[in-house]
Amino acid sequence: MEKQSKMVFLDADPIMWAVGAMPPPGKGKNLSGLSWDKDADEIMKRCDKVTRLLKQKNLWVMGATWWNIKLVDAVVILPKELNKKYLDAKNDAFDDDYYEKELAPYIKNILRPEAKKNNVPIFKSIGKVVNHIKKENNPYK
């Protein structure tokens, strides 16, 4: 397939699980042979490799894992309360203090500075980033 037949964003996670780039949450079959606790760097490198291949095929992929921010077309940083709501709703729930202990420092100290340094636009909603990507990088024009 050279191009998707229409503009649709694919969820990166199921693709990454299926090709063995990263382990699935919970008790799903782990084709990667890796774990987030021990192999986070390798997982993110593998996900970036898969992302590069998908982008070469002009597929539209949305995901949360990255190693090389230069592969990222845009970043979404949700408002704190909305982000916490989404984290709480996940099946493989995070600890109650995950946002404050892990995610907030990551956003402040790594994600925002890296995005700004590499001129990757930052948005506050998924809808706004989707509209931006469709407008700026639409291979279906």
Tell me the pLDDT of the chain averaged across its residues: 82
The total number of structural domains that make up the chain: 2
pTM beyond cutoff 0.75: no
Same-domain check for residues 129 and 86: yes
**109-127 average pLDDT score:** 90
Which of 66, 86, 120 is at the close of a domain?
66
- Does 88 lie in the same domain as 61? no
pLDDT in tens, 11-56: 888 899 999 999 987 777 899 999 988 998 999 999 989 988 988 8
Burial class, 109, CB count within 10 angstroms (exposed 0-12 / middle 13-18 / buried 19+): exposed
Determine the pLDDT at residue 4.
47
- Using the 3D structure, point to which of 39, 66, 93 is the last residue of a domain: 66
Whole-number pLDDT of residue 65: 62
- Given pLDDT bands bounded at 50, 70 and 90, which one contains residue 140? very low
Is residue 5 domain-shared with residue 39, that is, in the same domain?
A: yes
Q: Are residues 58 and 106 in the same domain?
A: no
Average pLDDT over residues 94-106: 85
Q: Which of 42, 66, 90 delimits the end of a domain?
A: 66
Examine the domain organization and report whether 38 and 76 are in the same domain.
no
